[in-house]
Amino acid sequence: MTEARTVGLPRALLYHKYHTLWTTFFEELGWRTVISGPTTRGTLERGVGLAVDESCLPMKVFLGHVDSLRDHCDVVFIPRLESLTPDEHLCVKFMGVYDIVRNTMPDLAVIGYDVDAANAVHERSSMIALARQLGAGRLASRRAYDRALTAQRAHERELARLQESLLETGGPHPDRIRILVVGHTYNLADELIGKPIITYLESLGVEVITSDAIDKPLARKLSARLSPGIRWTYNKELLGAVELYRDVVDGIVFIVTFPCGPDSLMGELCQRKLHGVPVATIVLDELQAEAGLRTRLESFVDIIAAKRHARQRCEVGS
């Protein structure tokens, strides 16, 4: 038997949503997985050097991760997703990312699978076809996918349950300020983009709820209350989180990466429809300076605290 082959998974973009599905799938097939390290300044700088200037920040981060896997695996894994349901679609970067990598790094070996439910290309058949292409038998391919899917579903249920329980009990500290941080999973989970913001808010004593840990189908349904016409699946999930939590949080922080079109339109609509909830929008680009960011977050939290305080005094006085 030959030594197990190695597949590289860039720790960026959809990895943060699908890592359970993907790693389980490859391990079931007998492949070794290598995951690029957490994003650093260096990762971003690599990506900036490779990407077309006007690419969005998450795409630059992604290309940096892909490049860092060079020499550490036999092949890099880059799926291509267009639509997950017949009447929704994803941001176009997920349609282009496979070809972007092929054209940016022509010497790199890449594999992937395609999902475009609107045109009858489904995850199940595509991933099974990928397994077959990698040399697995028919049964083994199906089993790998089915097990991966089961693991992914369990992971998603766990995420949603965590947050639900938090809301039911009112959280561990009912007197603490609670802020909903809204942003794409690939931004919130990124060590360089979203994590520092969440960590900093927590260091200010804030209880943070994030938009990505939520029951996704429910969120997509709820989004219609804020925007009946939006068709980007992931933006629907973000809007659904806003709709679900707006009444139980003291404020909302939107994390947006430059120059994200869907987010800029969604943010505009949200700000027009959310009345009475303090909202801060943090736009991040590759030149981000941490000091300015901290000052903004700090003053946002101060404003919320002052508001709370004033309200409490009113209630006591009346």
Binding residues for another protein (CB under 8 A): 52, 54-56, 80, 82, 91-93, 95-100, 102-104, 106, 114, 119, 227-232, 258-262, 264-265, 267-269, 272-273, 283
Q: Compute the least distance from the CB of residue 99 to another protein, in Å.
A: 5
**Residue nearer to another protein on the CB measure, 107 or 175:** 107
**Residue nearer to another protein on the CB measure, 60 or 178:** 60
CB atoms within 10 A of CB 165: 10
Q: Compute the least distance from the CB of residue 67 to another protein, in Å.
A: 14
Determine contact, residues 211/241, Cβ cutoff 8 Å.
yes
Q: Compute the least distance from the CB of residue 228 to another protein, in Å.
A: 7
Rounded to whole angstroms, the Cα distance separating 174 from 220 reads: 28
Q: Compute the least distance from the CB of residue 310 to another protein, in Å.
A: 27
Determine contact, residues 1/27, Cβ cutoff 8 Å.
no
Burial class (CB in 10 A: 0-12, 13-18, 19+), 294: middle
241-262: b or e for each residue (b if 16 or more CB lie within 10 Å)? bbbbbbeebbbbbbbbbeebeb
* Tokens standing for residue 90: 């994803």
**Residue nearer to another protein on the CB measure, 10 or 262:** 262
Residue with tokens 């003291």: 250
Hey, which residues does 120 pair with through a beta bridge?
none
Q: How far is CA 259 from CA 51, 87, 182, 216, 285, in A?
A: 14, 25, 17, 25, 8
* Tokens standing for residue 127: 């991933």
**Residue nearer to another protein on the CB measure, 167 or 274:** 274
Q: Compute the least distance from the CB of residue 227 to another protein, in Å.
A: 6
Q: Compute the least distance from the CB of residue 74 to another protein, in Å.
A: 20
**Residue nearer to another protein on the CB measure, 110 or 167:** 110
**Residue nearer to another protein on the CB measure, 148 or 260:** 260
**Residue nearer to another protein on the CB measure, 272 or 316:** 272
Q: Compute the least distance from the CB of residue 259 to another protein, in Å.
A: 4
